[in-house]
């Protein structure tokens, strides 16, 4: 099932975690690699992805954070 542009979930693929459509590459793996210092080009080469896949992962993560209800409490 496509849950966002180029992002799918399937209980039979990676335990139902969000992955890049048509692959087994989880969104959180892509984010972790970028945070760890890999460039877009390195991630694309390592996991056989295109730039649009990486941008979709970033967009999905940003939207997921926007929908979270975690807020700081006043002291």
Cα within 13 Å of Cα(27), Cβ side: 23
Query: What domain count does the chain have?
Result: 1
Please, which contacts does 7-14 make with residues 24 or more away whose CB atoms are closer than 8 Å? 7/56, 7/57, 7/60
Looking at residue 66, what is its pLDDT? 86
Q: If you ran DSSP here, which 8-state letter would residue 23 be given? A: S
Longest dimension (CA), the chain: 48
Query: Can you give the CATH number for the domain in which 42 is found?
Result: 1.10.10.10
- pLDDT tens-digit series, residues 14-25: 999 999 999 999
CB-based contact 19:25 (threshold 8 Å): yes
Domain extent, residue 15, equals 2-67
Whether 75 maps to a domain, the answer reads no
* pTM for this model (two decimals): 0.86
> Considering the chain, what is the average pLDDT of its residues?
94
In a domain, 72, yes or no: no
Helix (H, G, I), strand (E, B) or coil at 20: strand
pLDDT of residue 36: 98
């Amino acid at each position: 099932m496509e849950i966002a542009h180029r992002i799918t979930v399937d209980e039979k693929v990676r335990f139902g975690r969000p992955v890049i459509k048509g692959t087994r590459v989880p969104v959180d793996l892509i984010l972790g690699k970028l945070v760890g210092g890999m460039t877009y080009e390195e991630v694309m080469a390592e996991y056989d992805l295109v730039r649009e896949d990486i941008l979709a992962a970033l967009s999905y993560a940003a939207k997921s954070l926007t929908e979270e209800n975690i807020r700081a409490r006043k002291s």
